[in-house]
């Protein structure tokens, strides 16, 4: 077990916890209180640590995923679907006329983009809730972005599925889907911010200081307030 710690940096008590919780299979017994661990253990331990640290998943959810990973009756495609669902929140909008209208808007939208057979996908419910909110806020004009967003989302998904690649290496599928979805969401929203700043500079002029909003140095402290100093975004 000391070797496992040396190779992965995961402390022994944490490894023992993962063993007790069934996230890591037991080692091969080689004597009293001694067990041998293989490279497969090292790999599984790295995966579990990554799912805990970056997947935002509970131990129970990771245990279920790992069980699927080791179950030969679960196909690679099923594993992919299961992993995607664990990182998909579901927000059901309350029923009402606003929701019925939003449901029609989303169904038209999905049909327009050829996204079929997804009537029961949890993200369809989330979209209906978001559209309900926007229309109730009187901001139906913001729905004009949806078609552009859908085209961009499909390009993102193509890249995602290309990275998952062949479904044969099951641990890789699980790790990439969970990390790629959670870290990937943050990557996409960060790139969106950068691209917004880039496009805004192009439209409304470059910042005179040649720097972007925050006045602090890259390695310095975070800015105290949420606002750029005057003039850093000329409009």
Nearer to a second copy, 101 or 121 (CB): 121
Phi and psi angles of residue 35, each rounded to the nearest 5 degrees, phi first: -145, 155
Q: Cα–Cα distance between 58 and 63 in angstroms, integer?
A: 9
Q: Is the dihedral of CA 180, 186, 192, 194 positive or negative?
A: negative
Nearer to a second copy, 25 or 84 (CB): 84
CB of 35 to a second copy, least distance (A): 25
CB of 11 to a second copy, least distance (A): 17
The two three-digit tokens of residue 185, written as one number:
């969401």
Q: Cα–Cα distance between 153 and 164 in angstroms, integer?
A: 16
Phi/psi-derived region of residue 212, left when phi > 0, alpha when psi is between -120 and 50, beta in every other case: beta
CB of 57 to a second copy, least distance (A): 9
Q: Residue 122: which residues within 8 A CB-CB, separation 6 or more?
A: 85, 88, 89, 90
Nearer to a second copy, 34 or 152 (CB): 152
Nearer to a second copy, 34 or 75 (CB): 75
Nearer to a second copy, 12 or 118 (CB): 118
Q: Cα–Cα distance between 180 and 163 in angstroms, integer?
A: 9
Query: What is the b/e burial string over 179-192, where b = at least 16 CB atoms within 10 angstroms of the residue's CB?
Result: bbbbebeeeeeeee
Nearer to a second copy, 35 or 197 (CB): 197
CB of 29 to a second copy, least distance (A): 29
**Is 36 within 8 Å of 163 (Cβ atoms)?**
no
**Please, what is the Cα angle at 37 between 31 and 41, to 5 degrees?**
150
């Amino acid at each position: 077990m000391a070797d496992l710690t040396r190779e992965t940096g995961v402390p022994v008590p944490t490894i023992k916890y993962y063993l007790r919780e069934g996230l890591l299979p037991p080692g091969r017994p080689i004597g009293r209180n001694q067990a041998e661990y293989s490279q497969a253990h090292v790999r599984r331990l790295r995966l579990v640590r990554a799912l805990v640290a970056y997947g935002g998943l509970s131990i129970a959810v990771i245990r279920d995923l790992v069980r699927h990973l080791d179950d030969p009756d679960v196909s690679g495609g099923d594993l992919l679907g299961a992993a995607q669902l664990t990182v998909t929140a579901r927000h059901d909008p309350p029923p009402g006329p606003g929701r019925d209208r939003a449901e029609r808007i989303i169904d038209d939208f999905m049909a327009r983009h050829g996204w079929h057979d997804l009537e029961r996908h949890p993200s369809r419910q989330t979209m209906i809730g978001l559209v309900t909110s926007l229309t109730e806020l009187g901001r139906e004009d913001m729905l004009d972005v949806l078609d552009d967003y859908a085209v961009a989302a499909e390009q993102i998904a193509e890249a995602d599925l290309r990275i998952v690649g062949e479904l044969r290496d099951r641990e890789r599928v699980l790790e990439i889907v969970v990390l790629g979805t959670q870290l990937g969401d943050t990557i996409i929203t960060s790139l969106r911010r950068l691209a917004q700043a880039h496009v805004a500079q192009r439209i409304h002029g470059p910042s005179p200081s040649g720097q972007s909003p925050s006045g602090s140095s890259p390695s310095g402290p975070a800015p105290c307030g949420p606002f750029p100093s005057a003039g850093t975004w000329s409009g």
